[in-house]
A = this chain, B = another copy of it.
Amino acid sequence: MTVHEAHTRVLVEGPRPDVRVPVTRVALTNGETFDRYCTEGPGSAPEAGLPRLRAAWIEERADTEPYDGRDTDLLDNGRAAVRRGAAREEWPGAQARPRRAVGSRRVTQLHYARAGIVTPEMEYVAVREGCDVELVRSEVAAGRAIIPANVNHPESEPMIIGRRFLVKVNANIGNSAVTSSIAEEVDKLTWAVTWGADTVMDLSTGDDIHTTREWILRNSPVPIGTVPIYQALEKVDGQADRLTWQVFRDTVIEQCEQGVDYMTIHAGVLLRHVPLTADRVTGIVSRGGSIMAGWCLAHHEENFLHTHFDELCEIFARYDVAFSLGDGLRPGSVADANDAAQLAELRTLAELTTRAWEHDVQVMVEGPGHVPLNLVEENVVLQQDWCHGAPFYTLGPLATDIAPGYDHITSAIGAATIAMHGTAMLCYVTPKEHLGLPNRDDVRTGVVTYKLAAHAADVAKGHPGARAWDDALSRARFEFRWRDQFALALDPQTAESFHDETLPAESAKTAHFCSMCGPKFCSMRISQDVRDRFGSGVDAEAGMRQKAAEFLELGGSVYVER
């Protein structure tokens, strides 16, 4: 079973009948229910795709129109497809014509928010976050939050990324030249969302990139991000010096038409920044960053992503694609954290943020990486200051480099800390980081680890309602409602299976102890017995003395017999 039987998916109706927001309703054994944020409405058969939830909302705005999109090219799926002379395993569902803005209209959530328009996407988000819709609109209008929502990805269920809202988690999937298949990637998508990924990035760099992405988009209820330079590089045979603005622009439009919601653009890697990395312990560790650095050096020209940035903004504004301004010069080791190269790039990203906002394009800014714990806060403070509060989206950061195989943990430490200080979205790290491509289990471990880090930050920030989840679970724990403890757990199956390793009997699910301490040493049990006998709020000396006498008369034991 993929979801505990106490869970049901409920659609909460918003201010208009077609705004119906999914929550996971947990039925507790004491008759109460607890609603958990969930990232996925009713699912789909992969071959048919998800319902086009937002299609009517997009159409009713009447500022976009369908058009004959770019012709797909065999090379969109890599050189293997060219050699074969055909794509393979194409998505069999009904293809919609792509849409884009009418003329030079700007069709972004930022544009609407600035104009004082409350979109259904904003209504949806407000229900989801349990906040006033005006908070959503005003934060989007100020650039302090984004709602990634490409008009060509109507399947996506709106979500918001911003420091005033719940901290979000992104999961990376995607194949590489060495491993994986389309079916595996679609399975990883579904799996990641099942465990709570708020967005998914398809970072494929191998074959079948276009087709893999089509399957993913048509089946994704969460926004999809990409790094288009990866596909562009495939189109020029992996030779960075052959990359051109034209190839890149064509790839971006291809992805805009498919429905990618946000794209990582490494426009902050400037020619003059590259030498700043020469004496680093780990040089440039961003794939996109190293590709663009290689291009800049090969041509001794400025990064074409930077010189053509306004054109990119114009394209993004026509589809409502959000920028994720890539930190191509992020540190790859704690030794390189917060160094001149990283901060020089951040200054450039701040300038680009302002330029994108001039085009009404939504922006988030990417952050590191590997940062010792004492330098983590500075990263958020500088980014929020320099980038005027644009949402920060960080990869970890890893608090130490010494634990390959455990980097979901080394990075969750940094992630919880940086989110507490204001990072809006965390990019997960799996146990395979630095070692290989994550498999299905790694995706689950990475997502669950990051959900707990994000929630720890929500609690630390005092986010309204965040602690209610902790309290509900702790009450279940204290009252020995084992089934409720499992059902409320971030990962019910793991919690239950760990419990059952030592006490598999059905009766143990109602026992007032577990194998950790056994019945006689269970402090929860003893403490409950004490409370039951002495009541809550006891403080009178006399009352306690009398209770003590009663307690001894009753046998004086707070333990069960073995």
| Chain A contacts to B: CB under 8 angstroms | 176-179, 205-206, 230, 233, 238-242, 271, 274-275, 277-279, 281-287, 289-291, 293-294, 297-300, 332-335, 370, 372-374, 399-406, 408-410, 412-413, 416-417, 420, 431-437, 439, 448-449, 452-453, 455-457, 459-462, 467, 469-471, 473-475, 477-478, 485-486, 488-491, 494-495, 497-499, 501-503, 513-524, 526-531, 533-539, 544-545, 547-549, 551-552, 556-559, 561-562
For A449, what are the chain B residues with a Cβ–Cβ distance below 8 Å? 406, 409
Contact between A562 and B290, CB atoms less than 8 A apart? no
Given contacts A238-B557, A467-B335, contact A524 B285 (CB under 8 A): yes
Inter-chain CA distance A545–B297, complex, in Å, is 8
For A433, what are the chain B residues with a Cβ–Cβ distance below 8 Å? 516
Inter-chain CA distance A531–B275, complex, in Å, is 9
Choose one: B290, B335, B513, B528; the contact of A470 (CB below 8 Å): B335
Inter-chain CA distance A390–B474, complex, in Å, is 31
Closest Cβ of chain B to A484, distance in Å, is 11
Contact between A278 and B531, CB atoms less than 8 A apart? yes
Closest 3 pairs between A and B when the two form their complex, measured CB to CB: A177-B518, A283-B527, A333-B474
Q: What are 15 A-B contacts with C-beta separation under 8 Å?
A: A205-B521, A239-B557, A281-B474, A285-B527, A294-B530, A299-B548, A332-B478, A400-B459, A403-B452, A406-B448, A431-B498, A435-B514, A436-B499, A436-B503, A439-B501
Choose one: B274, B416, B477, B549; the contact of A399 (CB below 8 Å): B416
Contact between A300 and B545, CB atoms less than 8 A apart? yes
Contact between A460 and B373, CB atoms less than 8 A apart? yes
Contact between A548 and B300, CB atoms less than 8 A apart? yes
For A545, what are the chain B residues with a Cβ–Cβ distance below 8 Å? 300
Tell me the nearest residue of chain B to A453, going by C-beta: B413
Contact between A523 and B284, CB atoms less than 8 A apart? yes
Inter-chain CA distance A161–B502, complex, in Å, is 34
Closest Cβ of chain B to A519, distance in Å, is 7
Contact between B521 and A297, CB atoms less than 8 A apart? no
For A401, what are the chain B residues with a Cβ–Cβ distance below 8 Å? 470-471, 473-474, 477
Tell me the nearest residue of chain B to A556, going by C-beta: B241
Inter-chain CA distance A374–B479, complex, in Å, is 27
For A486, what are the chain B residues with a Cβ–Cβ distance below 8 Å? 404
For A289, what are the chain B residues with a Cβ–Cβ distance below 8 Å? 523
Contact between A275 and B406, CB atoms less than 8 A apart? no
Inter-chain CA distance A373–B463, complex, in Å, is 13
Contact between A297 and B544, CB atoms less than 8 A apart? yes
Contact between A298 and B552, CB atoms less than 8 A apart? yes
Tell me the nearest residue of chain B to A525, going by C-beta: B290
For A453, what are the chain B residues with a Cβ–Cβ distance below 8 Å? 409, 413
For A473, what are the chain B residues with a Cβ–Cβ distance below 8 Å? 401-402, 404
Tell me the nearest residue of chain B to A293, going by C-beta: B530
Closest Cβ of chain B to A147, distance in Å, is 26
Closest Cβ of chain B to A345, distance in Å, is 14
- 9 new A-B pairs (CB below 8 Å) besides A285-B524, A403-B448? A278-B536, A290-B530, A298-B552, A400-B455, A402-B490, A403-B489, A406-B452, A413-B456, A436-B514
Inter-chain CA distance A334–B528, complex, in Å, is 18
Inter-chain CA distance A125–B476, complex, in Å, is 45
Inter-chain CA distance A25–B405, complex, in Å, is 21
For A521, what are the chain B residues with a Cβ–Cβ distance below 8 Å? 176-177, 205, 230, 233, 287
For A527, what are the chain B residues with a Cβ–Cβ distance below 8 Å? 277, 282-285, 290, 293
For A477, what are the chain B residues with a Cβ–Cβ distance below 8 Å? 282, 332-333, 401, 404, 434
Given contacts A333-B470, A402-B473, A556-B239, contact A452 B520 (CB under 8 A): no
Choose one: B230, B277, B437, B526; the contact of A291 (CB below 8 Å): B526
Contact between B374 and A420, CB atoms less than 8 A apart? yes
Tell me the nearest residue of chain B to A558, going by C-beta: B294
Inter-chain CA distance A397–B206, complex, in Å, is 43
Contact between B502 and A179, CB atoms less than 8 A apart? yes
Closest Cβ of chain B to A7, distance in Å, is 14
Contact between B241 and A334, CB atoms less than 8 A apart? no
Contact between A281 and B334, CB atoms less than 8 A apart? no
Choose one: B179, B400, B520, B549; the contact of A515 (CB below 8 Å): B179
Closest Cβ of chain B to A541, distance in Å, is 9
Contact between A279 and B536, CB atoms less than 8 A apart? yes
Given contacts A298-B556, A521-B230, contact A178 B515 (CB under 8 A): yes
Choose one: B290, B299, B524, B557; the contact of A240 (CB below 8 Å): B557
Inter-chain CA distance A374–B461, complex, in Å, is 7
For A518, what are the chain B residues with a Cβ–Cβ distance below 8 Å? 176-178, 205-206
Contact between B548 and A298, CB atoms less than 8 A apart? yes
Choose one: B179, B275, B279, B489; the contact of A544 (CB below 8 Å): B275
Choose one: B241, B279, B334, B456; the contact of A459 (CB below 8 Å): B334
Inter-chain CA distance A529–B297, complex, in Å, is 11
Choose one: B240, B460, B495; the contact of A372 (CB below 8 Å): B460
Contact between B495 and A526, CB atoms less than 8 A apart? no
Given contacts A409-B452, A523-B285, A530-B274, contact A435 B516 (CB under 8 A): yes
Inter-chain CA distance A335–B535, complex, in Å, is 20
